[in-house]
């Protein structure tokens, strides 16, 4: 098992990798919950003026019967026009690709973006769908029996923890 670099360092890497590619018209959309925390920090670090969005992908998950995803209940908030936009979907951990597929389905419920990119803090492998991040802070290897989760402390600090499934 490879332990991930600190979330703070990964956010710095991601910000620097994205900076040359975002414009004033780029919008960030964080996937609940860790992706929203990550997108909030990226939005601020990149100095984006367009409002940030958040989405809950639970309605579009295809693996609930297998225990995939978490219970939803949050409404997606997209305070911009998705039609024709350059959207960067942000998540904390990329694994099977199913969450990202569900996020794209949710986005298309609101319109047809001109382009969708993906930014993740960590790619832990284990892909089941042909999904790849445009920007990734780090790639690590974890056994299939373990999960990598981003946690937020009461003070707002982000940190990864490895748990058993």
Q: Are strands 158-164 and 146-152 parallel, antiparallel or unpaired?
A: antiparallel
pLDDT beyond 90 at 66: no
What average pLDDT does the chain have? 92
Identify whether 2 is part of a domain: no
| Amino acid 68: pLDDT | 47
So what's the pLDDT on residue 55? 97
Residue 67 included in any domain:
no
Instruction: Establish if 100 belongs to a structural domain.
Output: yes
In a domain, 30, yes or no: yes
Residue 1 lies in a domain: no
Q: Which of 14, 27, 31 is nearest to 100 (CA)?
A: 31
CATH number of the domain within which 126 lies: 3.40.50.2020
CA distance 71 to 93: 17
Nearest alpha carbon to residue 37 among 145, 144, 119, 140: 119
pTM for the model = 0.92
Q: Judge whether 68 lies within some domain.
A: no
State the DSSP string of 49-101.
Answer: -SPPEEE--GGG-S-GGGT-S----PPPB--S--TT-EEEEEEEEESSSHHHH
Residue 2 has pLDDT above 90, yes or no: no
- Is the pLDDT score of 49 beyond 90? yes
Domain around 80:
7-61+73-164
Q: How many domains does the chain have?
A: 1
Residue 78 belongs to a domain: yes
The pLDDT of residue 164 is 93
Q: Is residue 134 situated within a structural domain?
A: yes
């Amino acid at each position: 098992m490879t332990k991930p670099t600190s979330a703070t360092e990964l956010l710095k890497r991601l910000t620097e990798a994205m900076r040359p590619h975002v414009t004033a018209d780029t919008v960030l959309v964080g996937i609940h919950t860790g992706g929203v925390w990550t997108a909030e920090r990226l939005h601020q670090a990149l100095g984006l003026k367009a409002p940030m969005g958040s989405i809950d992908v639970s309605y579009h998950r295809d693996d609930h019967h297998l225990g995939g995803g978490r219970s939803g209940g949050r409404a997606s908030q997209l305070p911009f026009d998705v039609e024709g936009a350059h959207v960067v979907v942000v998540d904390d951990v990329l694994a099977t690709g199913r969450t990202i597929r569900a996020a794209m389905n949710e986005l298309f419920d609101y319109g047809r973006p001109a382009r969708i990119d993906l930014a993740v803090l960590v790619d832990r492998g284990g892909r089941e769908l042909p999904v790849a991040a445009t920007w990734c802070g780090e790639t690590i290897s974890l056994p299939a029996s373990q999960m990598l989760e981003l946690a937020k402390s009461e003070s707002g600090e982000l940190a990864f923890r490895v748990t058993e499934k």
